[in-house]
Chain A
Amino acid sequence: MNDMTKFDRFVGLNETKISAQGVNVFYGDTHAVKDVSVEIAERAVTAFIGPSGCGKSTFLRCLNRMNDTIDGARVEGQIHLDGEDIYDPKVDPVQLRAKVGMVFQKPNPFPKSIYDNVAYGPRIHGLARNKADLDEIVEKSLRRAAIWDEVKDRLDAPGTGLSGGQQQRLCIARAVATEPEVLLMDEPCSALDPIATAQVEELIDELKRNVSVVIVTHSMQQAARVSQKTAFFHLGTLVEYGDTGQIFTNPKDPRTEAYITGRIG
């Protein structure tokens, strides 16, 4: 809890990176996200917490339009990135996703080599001028995701052959390699041991310097440790959103209090 207060000082300084107004998401007839409005700050970490099935992942996927790829999913409302409506027909979701990276709840490395997994994003976006450049990006990304030491001798081995936790860190490296402006992380540490978790949290802390990070987590401690802003979702609605310190020490809504003290969930 000490760390938390340390970060609190920065919150007021940041401008809004993403602003969502009255977002509703439907899967066919299921109303999964109900009228959610959130301002996500630039160069800060925002945590989404809430019980399972309350729509955290669904809302997260709205922010890089990944819900477009789901048959029958419908998104209503306004989401602006740097003041630009991302659901405007003029916006190319491909370019949006290059700016808004994502780490999924379940690790999903490509059935390619570890190197190619990380190099994929930089390759399709032309981020590297030559092979040496690419090598450097790959190494840097793997280092940031705290997996370099484990895989540096077998970059040609298939990424699918790694353990679950290693795969997840590989996916983090893959997302970081494209240098996104916003990184959406859906429970990135659910498959990781405490040491790797600490390393990923360190990465998030470091990313915060030039990236907006949105992290979904089931761990209150993690939310308290890494985030400056916390949003509590319950049954598809955004119950409470505020500074992390305030949410955890002085929640306004009784449901938030019940959840963080472990009475609902």
Chain B
Amino acid sequence: MTSLAFFVLLLACVVGYWINRRGAQAIRADGQRLHSLASYHGLFSALMILVPVLTLILLWLVLQGPVIDRLTMAALPEGALDGLDSGGLQLVLAEIKSISRGQIFGTPEDWKIAAAEHHVALKARSSALMLGAVIALAAAIMLFARSRVGAEFRARQGVERIVSGLMIFCSTVAIFTTVGIVAALVFETGKFLSLVPLREFLFGLNWEPQIPIREDQIAASGAFGWVPVMLGTLVITVVALTFAVPVGLLSAIYLNEFAPQRLRSVAKPILEILAGVPTVVYGFFAILVVAPAIRSLGTSLGIDVSPNTALAAGSVMGVMLIPFISSFADDALSAVPRALRDGALALGATRAETMLNVLFPAALPGIVGGILLAVSRAIGETMIVVMAAGLIAKLTVNPLDSVTTVTVQIVTLLIGDTSFDNPKTLAAFALGMMLFLVTLVINIFALRIVRKYREAYD
């Protein structure tokens, strides 16, 4: 039935298009000048039908479920639902629905079978009604659109208005999704802050979210200061950038200015492969190769190294960021006009001087923008640190110690037994909110720099 409705819609659009176009062509055949091309008259009709009828079908499909459920429950015999709470009511409804689909377990009461039959009948009636409504609406619009056809009618502007409306709708979908995500975060964070004071969260130096989640559990009372967790994120980010920025920049400079064409054509794709490695795989690399190597190097030097170190997670994350920074820097360097390079070379500058004094400064805003984007990636990176960094929040900046990060804590807080009304779970949202804010600020910063860089040569 639903597919029939869609078919009717399609048919109506095609017929509407055809009728209007014929109408317009007939006017032109009479020797009048049309304001819009005949095909615009056709399109006008098709779009006029498409948008409202499609909306009708979709709304109907969304709303018919709840409405039919209500009607089914309302038609149940007196007393059948006595003494049931909302969970019980849902169970009854689910049973009726499964009976109506022919899935019968045990021997249901007669009134349930009757209700199931009623449910089926309601559904059939709803489908038929929908089809009727679709046909009626499509026909009405088609007639209306046909009546508009005339030499003076501005069908092209009409079509353009509808199309631009559709485009506005599509672009607002993305905005509304973002707003929805932020709203959810803000809402849950608000709940968290009603349980844990903001001051304690922002300035507390202890992060021990191990609190009882059921009355009968025994655990400490918990502490929710985000400082050590954020510090862990910062330590790992700094370690990652210490590896990624010099290596990424120098490789970009080399590839862009000094590498022979042949090497460049091999090295660039390899760097891009590096960018395509899933972060889980980097995580393996960190725990299986890098962490043990750092540990054994540390013991041979007589330094105490914990099994999970910020250094291991950070350096592997740095490797992940190398292609990111390198390709950003490469793009920025390539965007510097050739004429500038020639100008410096013609003054007798060496290639190194040209790079250092002219190309690099000219590309710097773009490069900085790329680095800031890499920072926000490092802060948000989850998989590598879940696998290779620790779980215990320590207030330390020692990269040989184990630290935990905001993302790791969010993951650990939300896996396993959770209920969404205790501070432990809600803390994840508060952390997510802070992460969101920090990366937002960095991204705004990065975008502004990138924009400034765009203006440099225009």
What residues make up the interface of A, taking CB atoms closer than 8 Å to B? 64, 66, 69, 71, 94-99, 101-102, 104, 106, 108-112, 120-121, 124-125, 160, 171, 174-175, 178
Q: Which of B337, B348, B350, B362 contacts A121 (CB 8 A)?
A: B348
Q: Are A66 and B346 in contact (CB under 8 A)?
A: yes
Q: How far is the CB of B61 from chain A (nearest CB, A)?
A: 58
Residues in B with CB closer than 8 Å to A64 are 346
Q: Are A108 and B348 in contact (CB under 8 A)?
A: no
Kindly report which residue of chain B lies nearest to residue A116, judged by CB atoms: B357
Q: A94-B348, A97-B347, A98-B348 are in contact. Are A110 and B358 (CB under 8 A)?
A: yes
Q: Are B344 and A125 in contact (CB under 8 A)?
A: no
Complex-state Cα separation, A64 to B349, whole angstroms: 13
Q: Are B353 and A108 in contact (CB under 8 A)?
A: no
Q: How far is the CB of B141 from chain A (nearest CB, A)?
A: 57
Residues in B with CB closer than 8 Å to A102 are 346
Q: Are A108 and B261 in contact (CB under 8 A)?
A: no
Q: Enumerate B358-378 residues with CB–CB distance to A below 8 Å.
A: 358, 361-362
Mask: chain B, 340-354; 1 = CB below 8 Å from A; 0 = not: 111111111110010
Q: Are B346 and A97 in contact (CB under 8 A)?
A: yes
A-B contact count (CB 8 A): 66
Q: Are A101 and B343 in contact (CB under 8 A)?
A: no
Q: How far is the CB of B340 from chain A (nearest CB, A)?
A: 6
Q: Are A125 and B348 in contact (CB under 8 A)?
A: yes
User: 14 A-B pairs, CB-CB below 8 angstroms?
Assistant: A66-B346, A69-B342, A69-B345, A97-B347, A98-B347, A99-B348, A104-B342, A110-B340, A110-B343, A110-B358, A111-B361, A111-B362, A124-B353, A175-B346
Q: A71-B261, A108-B337, A108-B340 are in contact. Are A178 and B348 (CB under 8 A)?
A: yes
CB of B415 within 8 Å of the partner chain: no
Q: A71-B261, A104-B339 are in contact. Are A110 and B350 (CB under 8 A)?
A: no
CB of B220 within 8 Å of the partner chain: no
Q: How far is the CB of A185 from chain B (nearest CB, A)?
A: 11
CB of B277 within 8 Å of the partner chain: no
Q: Which of B261, B341, B349, B361 contacts A124 (CB 8 A)?
A: B349
Task: Summarize B's interface: helix, strand, loop or mixed.
Answer: helix
Kindly report which residue of chain A lies nearest to residue B358, judged by CB atoms: A110
Residues in B with CB closer than 8 Å to A106 are 339
Residues in B with CB closer than 8 Å to A120 are 344, 347, 349, 357
Q: Are B361 and A112 in contact (CB under 8 A)?
A: yes
Q: A111-B456, A112-B361 are in contact. Are A66 and B342 (CB under 8 A)?
A: yes
Complex-state Cα separation, A95 to B339, whole angstroms: 20
Complex-state Cα separation, A199 to B348, whole angstroms: 26
Q: How far is the CB of A137 from chain B (nearest CB, A)?
A: 13
Q: How large is the interface on B (under 10, 10 to 19, 20 to 34, 35 or more residues)?
A: 20 to 34
Complex-state Cα separation, A127 to B48, whole angstroms: 76
Complex-state Cα separation, A254 to B174, whole angstroms: 69
Mask: chain B, 46-71; 1 = CB below 8 Å from A; 0 = not: 00000000000000000000000000
Complex-state Cα separation, A108 to B345, whole angstroms: 12
Residues in A with CB closer than 8 Å to B344 are 110, 120
Complex-state Cα separation, A98 to B340, whole angstroms: 16
Q: How far is the CB of A231 from chain B (nearest CB, A)?
A: 21
Complex-state Cα separation, A174 to B349, whole angstroms: 13
Complex-state Cα separation, A183 to B68, whole angstroms: 89
Q: Are B343 and A171 in contact (CB under 8 A)?
A: yes
Residues in A with CB closer than 8 Å to B457 are 111, 160
Residues in A with CB closer than 8 Å to B343 are 104, 108-110, 171, 174
Residues in A with CB closer than 8 Å to B342 are 66, 69, 104, 108
Kindly report which residue of chain A lies nearest to residue B339, judged by CB atoms: A108
Q: Are B456 and A69 in contact (CB under 8 A)?
A: no
Q: Are B361 and A121 in contact (CB under 8 A)?
A: no
Q: How far is the CB of B347 from chain A (nearest CB, A)?
A: 4
Most chain A Cβ neighbours within 10 Å, of B343, B350, B353, B456? B343
Mask: chain B, 313-345; 1 = CB below 8 Å from A; 0 = not: 000000000000000000000000101111111
Q: Lowest 4 CB-CB distances: which A-B pairs, in order?
A: A98-B348, A108-B339, A102-B346, A97-B348
Complex-state Cα separation, A99 to B346, whole angstroms: 10
Complex-state Cα separation, A71 to B259, whole angstroms: 13
Kindly report which residue of chain A lies nearest to residue B336, judged by CB atoms: A111
Residues in A with CB closer than 8 Å to B261 are 71
Q: How far is the CB of A182 from chain B (nearest CB, A)?
A: 12
Q: A69-B341, A71-B261 are in contact. Are A104 and B346 (CB under 8 A)?
A: yes
Residues in B with CB closer than 8 Å to A178 are 347-348
Q: How far is the CB of A86 from chain B (nearest CB, A)?
A: 13
